Structure 1
Amino acid sequence: MSPSNSTSKSQTPTNYRTIGIIGCGNIGGRQAANFLAHGYSVYVYDINPDRMTELKSLGAHITHSCAEVGTCSEIIFTSLPTPTDVITAVLEDEHSLSQGLRPGSIYIDLTTNSPETILRLHKAMKELGVEMLDAPFNDCPEGAKSETGMGLAVLASGSKTTFEQVEPIFKLMADRVLYCGEIGRGTQCKLIHNAVNAVAVQAVGEGITLGLAEGIELQTIWDALRFGSFGQNAGDIHGLPHYWFSRRCDDLSQHPAFTVKLLHKDLRIALAMASQRNISVPQLSLAVKDYEEAEQRGWSDYSTTKLRCLQEERAGVIAKATLPVTSSSTQEQPQLNSKGT
């Protein structure tokens, strides 16, 4: 895997190309606005017309189907919730992207997808004379801000030649651009990242609730974790005051960017990868069971942080306090002394 640093926003690629984006949610919508700000002509499609209207006010061209996006664009991104959504939009819908793609164009999937779906898409693109990359996106949690304000990393894979063609565009999208290898490797890296992060989140929940049950003050537990080596980033420790301690996770009106059902999907795919290799992943297996329980409780549309409520119930405590949100590069000293309730 070879990383490269992002260019600054003033360093716009000279080779302007027409960009299409299917799926204008948290990632797709922000990247569409980003490309427009850098002078690109952007065509968008989303099943929610309000999202397209917002982008139209910034200069985007609204389309009426995925096929129309393909007809109008040289580089097309999909950023959708699930593998099924991608297959429908790209291959199976009556007006799917494949109906409008032109030979020589480039298709890039930003979705956290399944490796099997990526290979199916890649085969279909090859038959159409279209180059494909998978490039899932590491978004920015509250506790670890992006240097450029866009994202932490793009994990791209596929033809190295095609990657190098669009690398200047990738560099506008995140702080780091990682080339992960042959098609599907980027998706596998993202799934592994999310699986590891999910396990780390479980460990943080166990540690904090154990400390509270022992009578240790919440500020002290948090400081012990965040100012040690683990706390530099693992488990999104710096974002805990924003997402968990504030109880934001209990409020659906806060519009979570990453939900229980989406991470559950990622973990199931990662677990399937391990199963195919006969690799034992007990922590991941346990994490999947907790996410299953969360969905059974009706928490599918809540933030992934909501899962920590299961561990709170097991320990008989609630992690609630007003604490400062800090970045991984800010080692400020604690100013509050709040207890878990």
Structure 2
Amino acid sequence: MATNQSSYPNPIHPSRTRIGWIGTGIMGAAMAGRIRSAGYFLTIYARTPSKASTLLSSGADLASSPASVASCCDVIFSMVGHPHDVRSVLLDPISGAVSSLSPGSVLIDCTTSDPALAREVAAAVSEKNCFSVDAPVSGGDVGARDGTLAIMAGGEKEVIEWLSPLFDLLGKVTWMGPPGSGQSSKIANQIAGAGNVVGITEGILFARKAGLDEGVFLRAIRSGAAGSKAMEIFGQKILERDFAPGGFVEYMVKDLGMALESRDGDSDSAVVLPGAALFRQMFTGMVANGDGKMGLHGLITVHERMNGMP
């Protein structure tokens, strides 16, 4: 559906734009909290209502289903765990959000999901005379709380620009291309991010085995070519054995799995990704060890086990 900003009679504004939110996990709750703190009326759906207690105490309303959220909101965000969750909360013919969209409303999926599924959602939303944006994010729970997320958006550029007052509350949005482009960008981001974590944890382990002070080692390399945002986020946490998740490692296994699969049934579109395959194997080791709910930097425990270290 072609459109432009003039298709919308009112700019985004807390006094007249009703916001819906589906999914209140670690990331979703923090992101929705920023929307609510900016003064927007918020209607939420949470499969586990207790996870929405802070939002409810701030004045948000609780809906009984994703469809109920969509029926009363102008802009609906979703932030759930897996592609099958996206399909359930958005495309279920009875309880899914798409079934109850009002003409002209906008659906924004922030879940890291399948690019092909994002295109399927966009087609279903277009049939309702509505608009869809796939907008996965990077930056973890810290970025979600601070409003510094990197947002990779696929969809119509004009719609994304119209939504900028909301995206600005969450971080920095970049238009990546047509539907599905946001998801493809996030998967590529996950490959790069996983490689960073593997390198950091393996470097720390090598430094430890060499008898180096791990803290001194990290400070020494931080400003060099090996320094990275991932090191800033995870370095000290690794030293303190603080493996609390900003995002569950089991989701990284899911994301790298999507990278390694050909999604469109076209063998010519397949990409050989030996690094991603190795990274996924290592993070899968964490899950196999019972650590799937740890943060990514808990990967150091896999290195330790492989080296017979306590």
Q: What is the TM-score with the length of structure 2 in the denominator?
A: 0.88
**Residue 157 of structure 1 pairs with residue 154 of structure 2:** yes
Structure 2, gaps ≥5 residues long: 1-11
TM superposition shift of 1:85: 0.4
1:303 equivalent in structure 2: 295
Structure 1, gaps ≥5 residues long: 1-11, 319-341
The 8 Å contact of residues 26 and 141 in structure 2, kept in 1 or not, is answered as no
Which amino acid is 1:136 matched to? P
1:238 equivalent in structure 2: 232
The 8 Å contact of residues 125 and 132 in structure 1, kept in 2 or not, is answered as yes
Which amino acid is 2:156 matched to? S
Secondary structure at 1:247 match in 2: coil
The 8 Å contact of residues 153 and 174 in structure 2, kept in 1 or not, is answered as yes
Secondary structure at 2:234 match in 1: helix
| Root-mean-square deviation over aligned CA pairs | 2.3
The 8 Å contact of residues 205 and 300 in structure 2, kept in 1 or not, is answered as no
Count, aligned residues = 296
Pick from 243, 246, 257: which aligns with 1:257? 246
2:305 equivalent in structure 1: 313
TM superposition shift of 1:141: 6.3
Separation in structure 1 between the aligned mates of residue 233 and residue 160 of structure 2, nearest angstrom = 33
TM superposition shift of 1:93: 6.2
Separation in structure 1 between the aligned mates of residue 141 and residue 208 of structure 2, nearest angstrom = 25
Which amino acid is 1:114 matched to? D
Separation in structure 2 between the aligned mates of residue 276 and residue 294 of structure 1, nearest angstrom = 32
Pick from 198, 218, 223: which aligns with 1:222? 218
Separation in structure 2 between the aligned mates of residue 240 and residue 309 of structure 1, nearest angstrom = 14
Q: Deviations over 1:224-254 (max 9, x none)?
A: 3212132142xx11233443211122xxxx4
Which amino acid is 1:159 matched to? E
Q: Map of 1:77-88 to 2, 5 A cutoff?
A: 77-88=77-88
Secondary structure at 1:73 match in 2: coil
TM superposition shift of 1:208: 1.9
Which amino acid is 2:125 matched to? M
1:326 equivalent in structure 2: none
Secondary structure at 1:186 match in 2: helix
2:90 equivalent in structure 1: 90
Q: Map of 1:1-341 to 2, 5 A cutoff?
A: 13=13, 16-92=16-92, 94-140=94-140, 149-174=146-171, 176-233=172-229, 236-249=230-243, 254=244, 256-272=245-261, 277-317=269-309
Q: What is the TM-score with the length of structure 1 in the denominator?
A: 0.80
Separation in structure 1 between the aligned mates of residue 241 and residue 206 of structure 2, nearest angstrom = 19
Separation in structure 2 between the aligned mates of residue 51 and residue 136 of structure 1, nearest angstrom = 21
Separation in structure 2 between the aligned mates of residue 177 and residue 221 of structure 1, nearest angstrom = 34
